[in-house]
Amino acid sequence: MQITVLGAGRVGQAIVRDLALDDRFDIIAVDRDQHTLDNLKHKCAARCLQADLAEYEKIPKLVSDSDLVVSAVPGFMGFETLKQIITAGKNVVDISFFAQDVLQLEELAKSRRVTAVVDCGVAPGLCNILCGHVHSRLERLESYTCYVGGLPVIRNWPYEYKAVFSPADVIEEYTRPARCLENGTEVVLPALSEVELIDFPAVGTLEAFNTDGIRTLKETLKIPNMKEKTMRYPGHARLMQIFKDSGFFNPEPVKVDGQLVRPLALTSTLLFDQWKLQEDEEDITVMKVIIDGWENGTQQRYTYDLLDRFDHKTQTTSMARTTGYTCSIVARQILDGKFKATGICPPELIGKEERCFDDLLEGYKKRNILIEETIS
């Protein structure tokens, strides 16, 4: 079976390398950066193809012989890339984090009889799967809260942060309004708002702030109270708020010495080099999902805790592991016929399928990703 992976960044490479361990699969990695592809060739048996994926009209031809496609492109390319894959009639697992409403593609996906599992990373992704699983257990859910963050182990001033996925998508998290649900009503809050401090064993104190993360959950599971918060080391949110309030994240051009300059483009250029996680730098992924609901008149709370670390053996970042392996495990489930739904399939639907959920946990365990469940 042929799998084409579009995008060979840190997470895309983790997906390629994991799928390439299965000799049933012929893996093709596509990226515009030849140096990235050359580096990947030395790590696994995947075939590599150089192409500019921003030329969206070429995507159907690139994936024409594929049994399944993985979209691991940056968020700003995600919606159009997914649309082209579905138009080509190919099953797809997508990890790109784009602003557009993915449910706009439901009719197209149904008409092509395509299985399109979207938002299939760690958050969104794993957290949705956990919520879908609890939703299938309880009579009624009351609230869902997800705290999640990818962080460098070493804290270097002033940002105490390194981008463990696309830096452009990080800034998008800081600017996109955060949608949440309160008592069944959608409430839109500013990103970076409602900062709170939370203590995590083996990590210390982190700050959490609102980001736009509940996405499809507000449409699929109808839980009256829902919120996602991103976590960083304390002080980061205030610094990013200063950048935001001062206009450094503004995408509209301003005139400087007679030249039009986009503040966001300049800020990104300056920050990305400082935020780049070096090859020998270690990272961690921290996540806590809290879900409250009712069963037989009794209130129950399900809490899921994840703390994952950089893999020294494979030199794979924790964020690439937790995001990429979620994607690669689900890709196998589709190819093995374990998940057969068609249309736009948010990851919470994976959690509702008991055999898929159990298979996912077993897959995580094999890859040394441990999730602790507490029921109270």
Report the distance separating Cα 243 and Cα 263, nearest Å.
Answer: 10
Show the CA angle centred on residue 219, arms to residues 217 and 224, nearest 5°: 75
Task: Over range 11-34, report the average pLDDT.
Answer: 96
Please determine, looking at this structure, whether the domain spanning 2-122+319-369 carries the CATH number 3.90.650.10.
Answer: no
What is the pTM (predicted TM-score) of this model? 0.94
User: Average per-residue pLDDT in the chain?
Assistant: 95
**23-67 residue pLDDT tens:** 999 999 999 999 999 999 989 989 999 999 999 999 999 999 999
pLDDT value at 165 more than 70: no
Q: Which fold has domain 126-309?
A: Dihydrodipicolinate Reductase; domain 2 (3.30.360)
Residues near 50 by Cβ (< 8 Å), separated by ≥ 6? 30, 31, 32, 33, 34, 37
**181-208 residue pLDDT tens:** 999 999 999 999 999 999 998 999 999 9
Sorted by where each begins, the domain ranges of the chain are 2-122+319-369, 126-309
Among residues 76, 244, 241, the alpha carbon closest in space to that of 166 is found at: 76
Task: Over range 150-156, report the average pLDDT.
Answer: 94
